Amino acid sequence: MVPTHGFSLHRPSNQKCILMDDSSATGPDQFQRLRIWIPLFLVPLMIVARFFPGWFPEIPLVWMVGAFVPGLLAILILVWWLIFSRARWTERLVGLLGIVAAIATAAMLVDPTMLGPPIIVLTLPTTIAAFAITLIVTAGILSFRRTWVAVVASFLVAGFSTLLTNDGARGDFSFGFDWRWRPTPEDVFLASRSTSNATDATGQPLAESFMNPAWPGFRGPNRDGIQRGMAFESDWEKFPPHERWRNKLGPAWSSFAVADKFLVTQEQRGDQEAIVCYDGDTGHEVWAQEIVSRFFDALGGLGPRATPMIANGAVYAMGAEGWLVKLDAVDGSIRWKKDIRDLTELPPPMWGFSCSPLVVDDLVVIHAAGDDNLGIIAFDTETGEVRWSAAADKDSYSSLQLTSYFDQQQLVFLGSRGAMFLDPATGKVLLDHEFKISGYRAVQPAVVDAQRMLFTSEYAGSRLIELKPTDQGLEASEVWTSRGLKPDFNDFVVHEGHAYGFDGAIFTCLDLKDGTRSWRKGRYGKGQVLLLGDSGLLLVIAESGELILLASTPEEHRELAKLSALDGKTWNHPVVVGNRLYLRNANEAVCYELTQDSVESIDE
């Protein structure tokens, strides 16, 4: 054996000399062309999965595909890289550490609104996809350079997340991203605020207006989303809604409570949650009460979720972080204030406190989401002291609702276990009807007639129950259960033997005789609906802010008119009082005047 530079000279006996080049050998320490067919399959699949919910919104819970499948496929790409890629082990280790470092660095530098789900839905899959795409392109480079280039690409794509802000998710789990340097709608609103437009509606006239509110709180007097007392023209080409005023306002998913010409709602103003009274004639602010509180989650967005209630000359409001307050309706001054977190010793629910307060006689009742007997709490309207409390499911974003069956009043609460009926005066459970789901409930029940009630969920569909009185309270029997109507947080209405609402993101009519669908059409996202009861018309505010007028007929889905009403994501419930339609979302509010039908106004 004679050593030479780069070669070995070997002369076996009776054989010619054989010259061997060590560099031609292959093994685990040598660079090989990457096996790329796996990421070539997975990366396009990630793209398809992300946009799949928008293509097929009619599929139940389809948003989960766009939310979670791209991330799962990204994990499979990592499995490919670590096990099946043919890369050297040093490459695999450096690549993995590079991806982790890129995502971790982005998570430290992003705007706070981008933390949580946006990291999972956007940053993680796009960072890993960029790593994989770069390796597909550089698969033939037989050096460490391909891995370094892929790591750099990962950092660049992960860094893109640091340039964005997020105002929350849409119904299809797409996010409202915007450039970080651009002012948010809240910034624009706060910069434009002026006290010069405040009205002089104070004192006795204002106090009298609040004594008999036409629309006292969430979804109206009965919390059923039905307007009564006036019929309207359905031909918007001949009688178009007239825009009376339009104003910017702070973000919230609150609706309006209406007393005479005054509107009360909630909104976020910087680090304060505000309860605000507006003049319905002009849209100008009358008074505002601000409480230091700011709730944001990456899915639901920023601001209060509940709607105030007007009762007995006072305003009751629930903040997203858990404060309950009673205000003087004349000037908004605080009568009393309670922090629910102090009572339950628990943080707010995942998406914030969403229960709109309900005033029954001298009690104001809310869902507190506490342990043991602190699920539902009733407070004295005068003192704010606890009068009674009861156990209830935590997984609920529904509001309590007052019903009357068999000449007795009941409080109805919907949770993950089903429907619970309580005595309003004592909190005694009159009926606990089981209809379990694995998630939450966030819609209101509907009184169908003197003995039946309909309630729903996105996870299990709808159920009609028939009630009977007993010595201990009530008993219920199931009439039918149907998967024909599965709303998420989008309430439905009942009219002439049919329910109208959102089955996912598709508007649907359900026959209450047997739970079968009459029709399912109209892609309005996760919007809201209001029944114009005396007109037989449905007002749908789409998630996009478009206003649609529908005929309430089980024969067919029939659009009568459309109007671009609001700009941006709209989850807030519409309100009609008199001939005025009030709409709002997280950016703006608008008042339209509807044309009364030639038939005289109908008394309730």
The answer to whether the CB of 455 falls within 8 A of the CB of 392 is no
**Per-domain boundaries in the chain:** 27-179, 185-593
pLDDT band for position 5 (cuts 50, 70, 90): very low
> What pLDDT sits at residue 62?
77
Residue range 292-321, pLDDT digits in tens: 999 999 999 999 999 999 999 999 999 999
Average the pLDDT over 269-295 and give the result: 97
What is the rounded CA–CA span in Å between residue 123 and residue 162? Answer: 9
- Top CATH class, 185-593: mainly beta
The residue whose two tokens read 């040598």 is 30
Alpha helices in 25-120 (DSSP H): 37-55, 63-79, 89-109, 117-118
Average the pLDDT over 163-186 and give the result: 92
> What pLDDT sits at residue 543?
96
User: For a pLDDT cut of 90, what percent of the chain falls above it?
Assistant: 84
Indicate the average pLDDT of the chain: 91
> What pLDDT sits at residue 172?
81
What is the rounded CA–CA span in Å between residue 379 and residue 324? Answer: 10
Residue range 586-604, pLDDT digits in tens: 999 999 999 998 755 444 4
Residue range 487-530, pLDDT digits in tens: 999 999 999 999 999 998 899 999 999 999 999 999 999 999 99
β 226-227/528-532 pair status: parallel
> What pLDDT sits at residue 59?
72
pLDDT at 371 over 90: yes
362-382 as b/e, with b when 16 or more CB fall inside 10 Å? ebbbbbbbbeeebbbbbbebe
For Cα atoms 236, 240, 244, give the angle at the middle one, nearest 5 degrees. Answer: 150
For Cα atoms 602, 603, 604, give the angle at the middle one, nearest 5 degrees. Answer: 115
Residue range 549-582, pLDDT digits in tens: 999 999 999 999 999 999 999 999 999 999 999 9
pLDDT at 3 over 50: no
Higher pLDDT, 417 or 18: 417
> What pLDDT sits at residue 194?
59
Give the phi and the psi of residue 155 in degrees, each rounded to 5.
-65, -40
Residue of 120, 106, 108, 112 whose CA lies nearest to 161: 106
User: For a pLDDT cut of 70, what percent of the chain falls above it?
Assistant: 92
Question: What's the pTM value of the predicted model, to 2 decimals?
Answer: 0.89
What is the rounded CA–CA span in Å between residue 95 and residue 81? Answer: 8
What is the rounded CA–CA span in Å between residue 313 and residue 322? Answer: 23
Mean pLDDT check: name the lowest of 190-194, 223-227, 287-291. 190-194
**Tokens (6 digits) for 55:** 């293509």
> What pLDDT sits at residue 439?
87
Average the pLDDT over 97-113 and give the result: 97
Average the pLDDT over 217-246 and give the result: 97
Q: How far apart are the first and last CA of the chain?
A: 110
> What pLDDT sits at residue 599?
59
pLDDT band for position 29 (cuts 50, 70, 90): low
pLDDT band for position 54 (cuts 50, 70, 90): confident
pLDDT at 441 over 70: yes
For Cα atoms 415, 530, 261, give the angle at the middle one, nearest 5 degrees. Answer: 110
The answer to whether the CB of 119 falls within 8 A of the CB of 110 is yes
> What pLDDT sits at residue 203?
53
